[in-house]
Amino acid sequence: MNALQSHHPIALSLLINEDIYLINTPIMAVADAVTPPIVVAEPAEIMANIPPKPAPEIIAQLPQTDKPNYRYLGDNNKSILILVNETDAEILNKDDLLALNKLLAARKLEQKDVAILNIQKNTQLNFAQLKDFFGFNKLLLFGINPKDLAITGIVANQICTFEGVPILGTWHLKQMQADEKKKLIFWAQFKTLL
């Protein structure tokens, strides 16, 4: 270890930030020697240093960002958005949710891997807003006309691509559960999408 190069109390206080118990100079003498005089500013000087507040009309002109507040199920861990068209429930009724979870489980996915959104409870949706909010890389539509979301070029029960995103539009979950033929047609495309 090198020998100490300074004995000045201020230099030591900057270099050593631990408690020191052995000193050669009385503490009061060091404190008195380095303490600057206290200067009290007048209230007018203090007020002069405070920046003025912006006028209310300037604040009103600032752009407002309206971030949508969607109520959905899942955590969207795999960036997969599932849109449903359910009039009788906030998102999905129990039977449809059970059927959807079985479909996901068959592809080794869980509800936390996707986001499930009911378009009946969220009005004026479009593809760009949803893409911006959810950041999905796959989209699944149950009982929804793609044109209602400003999506074009989609054929029912076939995986199609819109703006680089694979999309599968199909029947409502209730319709598929009641018809085995519809289930088979959907499953052939679903297993390819996910």
Ranges for all domains in the chain classified under CATH 3.40.470.10: 72-193
| Whole-angstrom distance, CA of residue 163 vs CA of residue 89 | 31
Q: Is 46 exposed, middle or buried (0-12, 13-18, 19+ CB in 10 A)?
A: exposed
- Longest CA–CA separation in the chain, Å: 96
CA geometry: angle 184, 188, 190, nearest 5 deg: 110
**CATH dotted code for 72-193:** 3.40.470.10
**Do 140 and 82 meet the contact criterion of CB atoms below 8 Å apart?**
yes
Residues 27-84 pLDDT 10s: 555 555 555 555 555 555 555 565 555 544 444 444 445 667 888 999 999 999 999 9
**Do 157 and 134 meet the contact criterion of CB atoms below 8 Å apart?**
no
pLDDT, tens digit only, all 194 positions of the chain: 556 566 676 766 666 666 655 656 555 555 555 555 555 555 555 555 655 555 444 444 444 456 678 889 999 999 999 999 998 889 999 999 999 999 999 999 999 999 999 998 887 788 999 999 999 999 999 999 999 899 999 999 999 999 999 999 999 999 988 999 999 999 999 999 98
pTM, entire model: 0.65
Question: Helix/strand/coil (H, E, C) string of 76-133?
Answer: CCCCEEEEECCCCCCCCCHHHHHHHHHHHHHCCCCHHHEEEEEHHHCCCCCHHHHHHH
